Amino acid sequence: MLTRRDGLRLAGATAGVAAFPGLGHAQSANRLRMGVGLTPNSIDPHYHNTGQNNSALRHVFDTLVNELGQQDVTPCLAESWRLVDELTWEFKLRQGVTFTDGTPFVAADVVFSFQRVPTIPNSPGLFTPYVKLITKFETPDDHTVLMHTDKPYPFVPRDVAWVQILSHKIHAGATTDDFNSLKVAIGTGPYKITKYTPGDAVELVRNEGYWGKKQPWASVQLKAIAQPETRLIALMSGDLDVIGGVAPQDMARAQGNADLSVQLFPSVEVVYLFPDSTRDVSPNMFDKTGKPLTSNPMRDARVRRALSMSIDRKAIVERVMQKAGAPAYQMAAATEDGYDPSIPEIPYDPAGAKKLLAEAGWPDGWKMTINGPVGFISNDDKILQAVGGFFSRIGVETSVESVSPAVYFGKATNREYCLFMTSFSVPLAITDLKSLIVTKSAQTGDGPFNRQLYSNKQLDDLVFQAQSTLDPAERRKLIGKAMRVAMDDVAVMPVINTVATWATRKAAVKYNAVPLGWAWAMLAEPV
């Protein structure tokens, strides 16, 4: 097949030249074209905290530090940082940096940027989680910023990585519209933006006055292509140089193509199941005759453990994901700060699971419907089907229902599902715990995505203690302990860690992927 295809391609190449002289796919040198699923929905870097915006706008605007999803952050506009006392962080800023219009970068710009974050009107999702714990700023000189917190807070250097830095001179009073019209799209970053078409493409040119390493690309295009098949074809035909996200079913074809280089890179995304372990009666659960259950078996930790043990995670990775993933046994990927390697694997043990069910008083199982999104995680509907199959094998007759994300998350939050699947991608293990498993509270704002209202005092205490522990080793130990409590009680069932896939044209580009999955021209090298 492949040889035939290549033959056709060769034949086509000559025919193409004959039919359209001078109209080949050849591109100008030093231009990089990246195909991604989504491009930014605004050029205002404080408008919407979402992967595609944070990724694309970092070409134009810098941050104090770089967050790549690794164990530590790396210097960017801040050259160094340290803890002055328990409640104060000091950032030393890089000197001689200017915005592309010549305005120098100074400490006041940092304060301005952080204070602008909560003020953006009509934002679909603000960056406030990263700035609200900083209660006061001081700028002793033009290249030093002090950030104060009310309580000891070790994650300031990680949080500042999400706030892109604007100028207090250029951007005072600038609205989101001013950014979208490119009037004030002026940053200190390695590229300048020349064109923005919402939902379609962003055009960038090199910032010749950039303070850092000179970028190899004179111009860059970020192109939104929703269809993974189209992305791959566009790459193969030479219309793109790098693409993110090869569909699992296209993997073999991409890897078999001699012109392409395909890499699988572990991401921080954890796919997990969230059972209802709190209500006496949960929806979508029936006895074997089809009558609604009058009690909720999943309140019993043994039952939750049995369900989790029934899942053959390795088989899901091998067959459903075509090896594009890894089994997950805790709510954090191995690259995350706070991942605890000592947390044991969850064994695949259907016999043991049946025994546990019998012990808990459900030897014959029951019937239920479980839910998941479709098109939200790569292959999500197929993962859910596999999970339903494994549950059925231990006597819990499970049917699955995949729902469009737009509808799905609202229903999950309304508790219309007894057990549902979704994923979470953050670079810190403590955030997984704090957002998903810690007791949900309207007052403190904790546990915002704890949709099944799981609650465990011991776990909460450990997480809060970790959150204000400044010593990294001590803190990681506490996070590991909290994670272990959650896993022992089967608060949630991690299933797999996904991988990000990148494909490049081998002869043109090498891509150095990072765990957070950034689609950055800065990570692409010419070959």
Partner 1 sequence: MPCRSAGPGPCSPSPSEPRVLLYVVRRLGQSVLLLLAMSMIVFLAVYAIGDPVELLVSPQATQAEIAATRAAFGLDQPLTTQYGLFLANALHGDLGRSFIFHEPALALVVSRMGATLELALSALLIATTLGIALGLIAALHSDGWIGRAIMSGSILGLSLPTFWVGILMLLCFSLWLGWFPAIGRGRTGDVFGIASSLFTLDGLRHIVLPASTLALGNTALTIRLTRSGAVEVLQSEFVKYARARGLAPRRILMVHVLRAVLIPLITIVGIEFGGLIAFSVVTETIFAWPGMGKLIIDSIYVLDRPVIVAYLMVIVFLFVVINLVVDLLYRLLDPRIGAN
The phi, psi pair for 400, rounded to 5°, reads -115, 150
CB-neighbour burial class of residue 482 (10 A; exposed 0-12, middle 13-18, buried 19+): buried
Residue 282 to residue 213: CA distance in whole angstroms: 57
Shortest Cβ distance from residue 35 to partner 1 (Å)?
8
Any alpha helices (H) in 117-159, and if so which ranges? 128-131, 156-159
242 binds partner 1 (CB under 8 A): no
410 in contact with partner 1 (CB under 8 A) = yes
Q: Does 48 bind partner 1 (CB under 8 A)?
A: yes
Tell whether residue 335 is a contact of partner 1 (CB under 8 A): no
DSSP annotation of 281: S
CA distance 348 to 350: 6
Based on the shown chain and the rule CB under 8 A, indicate whether residue 87 belongs to the binding site for partner 1. no
Q: Which of 133, 163, 165, 146 is nearest to 67 (CA)?
A: 163
Task: Between 149 and 308, name the residue whose CB sits nearer to partner 1.
Answer: 149
> Pick from 175, 187, 180: which is nearest to 101 by CA?
187
The single residue among 144, 230, 263, 439 that binds partner 1, judged by CB under 8 A, is 230
Between 49 and 188, CB nearer to partner 1: 49
> Which of 166-174, 279-287, 345-353, 446-454 is the region at the interface with partner 1 (rule: CB under 8 A)?
446-454
CA dihedral 469, 116, 214, 71 (to 10 degrees): 20
Sites for partner 1 among residues 169-198 (CB under 8 A): 176-177, 180, 197-198
Residue 31 CB, nearest approach to partner 1 (Å): 14
Which C-beta is closer to partner 1: that of 399 or that of 404?
404
* Binder of partner 1 out of 15, 84, 252, 334 (CB under 8 A): 15
Q: Of residues 83, 87, 126, 182, which one binds partner 1 by CB under 8 A?
A: 126
Decide: is 407 part of the binding site for partner 1 (CB under 8 A): yes
**Binding of residue 122 to partner 1 (CB under 8 A):** yes
Smaller CB separation from partner 1, 25 or 457: 25
Query: Which of 29, 258, 406, 473 touches partner 1 by CB under 8 A?
Result: 406
> Of 8 and 84, which has the nearer Cβ to partner 1?
8
* Part of the chain binding partner 1 (CB under 8 A), chosen from 2-10, 299-307, 329-337, 359-367: 2-10
Compute the Cα dihedral for 152, 154, 156, 157 and give only its sign.
Answer: positive
- Residues 440 and 9: their CA atoms lie apart, in Å, by 58
Beta strand 509-511 with 493-505 is: unpaired
- Give the range of 21-29, 77-85, 328-336, 452-460 binding partner 1 by CB under 8 A: 21-29
> Per CB under 8 A, does 50 bind partner 1?
yes
The 3 state secondary structure assigned to 375-443 is CCCCCHHHHHHHHHHHHHHCCCEEEEEEECHHHHHHHHHCCCCCEEEEEEECCEHHHHHHHHCCCCCCC
In the set 84, 95, 125, 359, which binds partner 1 (CB under 8 A)? Answer: 125
Query: How many residues belong to the site for partner 1 (CB under 8 A)?
Result: 74
Closest CA to 41 of 159, 122, 158: 122
* 239 is an interface residue for partner 1 by CB under 8 A: yes
The three-state secondary structure class of 335 is coil
35 belongs to the binding site for partner 1 (CB under 8 A): yes
Rule CB under 8 A: choose which of 227, 399, 458, 468 binds partner 1.
227
Strands 74-75 and 65-66: what pairing? Answer: antiparallel
**Contact flag: residue 446 with partner 1 (CB under 8 A):** yes
Site for partner 1 in 425-444 (CB under 8 A): 425-426, 431, 435, 440-442, 444
457 interacts with partner 1 by CB under 8 A: no
Q: Which stretch binds partner 1 (CB under 8 A): 104-112, 206-214, 230-238, 389-397?
A: 230-238
405 lines the binding site for partner 1 (CB under 8 A) = yes
Give the separation between CA 463 and CA 448, rounded to whole angstroms.
Answer: 15
Does residue 240 bind partner 1 (CB under 8 A)?
A: yes
Least distance to partner 1 from the beta carbon of 409, Å? 4
484 touching partner 1, by CB under 8 A: no
Q: Is residue 117 a contact partner of residue 166, using CB atoms and an 8 Å limit? A: no
End-to-end Cα spacing for the chain: 28
Neighbours of 263 (CB within 10 A): 16
Tell me, what amino acid is at 415? R
List C-alpha distances in Å: 456 to 24, 218, 328, 431, 475: 63, 54, 22, 16, 19
Structure tokens at 358: 């019998």
How far from chain centre, in Å, is Cα 134?
A: 24
Query: What is the DSSP secondary structure assignment for residue 162, as one 8-state letter?
Result: G
Give, as one character, the DSSP assignment of residue 292.
Answer: B
Interface residue with partner 1, options 32, 45, 49, 487 (CB under 8 A)? 49
Q: Does 502 bind partner 1 (CB under 8 A)?
A: no
Exactly one of 200, 345, 488, 525 binds partner 1 (CB under 8 A); which one? 200
Q: Does 526 contact partner 1 by CB under 8 A? A: no
